């Protein structure tokens, strides 16, 4: 346990940020998984829709500082590559 008041506050803030980041990372993973399921099912319309949703969620995570912009770009590129297998 921290000995100083400021260290105690930092522990609280770190835990709050950890939970916030965890929530956003979970949202990103879920959105990408939905896209991949639609691609596996060869459902073009659902895949397009889920691609847009996943891109939006990832971009919001970048704005909020949860994810680095290069990581987001890489993930969006990989999602687009999966989408391309459907011939879109």
Both tokens of 61, joined, read: 């995570």
Task: State which residues of the chain have pLDDT below 70.
Answer: none
* pLDDT of the residue at 88: 75
Contact 84, 44 (CB under 8 A): no
Q: For 67, which DSSP code? A: S
Contact 83, 41 (CB under 8 A): no
- With a pLDDT cut of 90, the percent of the chain lying above it is 94
* pLDDT of the residue at 19: 98
pTM to 2 decimals? 0.89
Query: What are the DSSP E strand ranges found in 12-76?
Result: none
67: left (phi over 0), alpha (psi -120 to 50) or beta: beta
């Amino acid at each position: 346990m921290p000995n100083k008041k400021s260290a105690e506050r930092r522990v609280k803030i770190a835990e709050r940020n950890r939970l916030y980041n965890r929530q956003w990372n979970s949202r990103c993973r879920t959105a990408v998984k939905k896209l991949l399921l639609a691609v596996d099912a060869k459902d073009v319309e659902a895949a397009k829709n889920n691609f847009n949703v996943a891109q939006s969620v990832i971009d919001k995570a970048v704005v909020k500082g949860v994810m680095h912009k290069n990581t987001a770009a890489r993930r969006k590129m990989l999602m687009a590559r999966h989408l391309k297998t459907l011939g879109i």
